[in-house]
Amino acid sequence: MSEEFEVRGVHEDHLDAAAEHEPRGMAGRLAVITAILATLGAMFSYMAGATQAEAGLLKNDAAIKKTEAANQWNYYQAKGNKQNLSELGMELSSDPRKPFFAAEVKRYEAEKISIKLAADKLEKASAEFDEKSEVQMHQHHRWAQATMLLQIGIAMAAIALLTRKQWLGKLVLAMGGIGVIVGALAFFGI
């Protein structure tokens, strides 16, 4: 029966020596950190997309309200033109027709008041939608910044793993921490 024995070469000795000098579990820790950063990055990326879509919808609503307000202002102007024509008719007409034109002037003046109120209300709604859209876009930028910071942390983790530099591993944690803080700012709308 033959007994097996191991013949070690220089290569195996070199691997053993490198393993002794490598920080304990650096590869394992970086793998876990990378997985956490990637998961957070995916969530932040989703939120960035969602807030951008919401901002676009709000901006669209603002444009719709602005168009409706412009239509009301056109209607207001048309009533003003009719009022001016009635005033002219009152000046140029004979005495029996003057009361008719005077009543028309009053009617158009009253109609213009309600049209102006409707137009002002629509402009206010448009401004509110614009303001909400800006808030959403700010939040979108925060989510995007947080995602970018986490992606940089993931890239640095790969470099740290390849170079086996502990200081770079600590920088990965710092970059991930900053990314999480920026994500928290986005979550709270700051």
- 190 residues of the chain, pLDDT tens digit each: 567 767 676 766 666 666 566 556 778 888 899 999 999 999 999 999 999 999 999 999 999 999 999 999 999 999 999 999 999 998 888 888 899 999 999 999 999 999 999 999 999 999 999 999 999 999 999 999 999 999 999 999 998 888 888 898 899 999 999 999 999 999 998 8
Could you tell me which of 44, 37, 43, 38 has the C-alpha nearest to residue 145?
A: 44
Could you tell me which of 3, 55, 44 has the C-alpha nearest to residue 179?
A: 44
**Cβ contacts of residue 56 below 8 Å, gap of 6+?**
133
With a threshold of 0.95, does the pTM exceed it? Answer: no
Q: What share of the chain is helix, strand, coil (3-state, %, to 5)?
A: 90, 0, 10
Here the tokens at position 163 are 């170079």
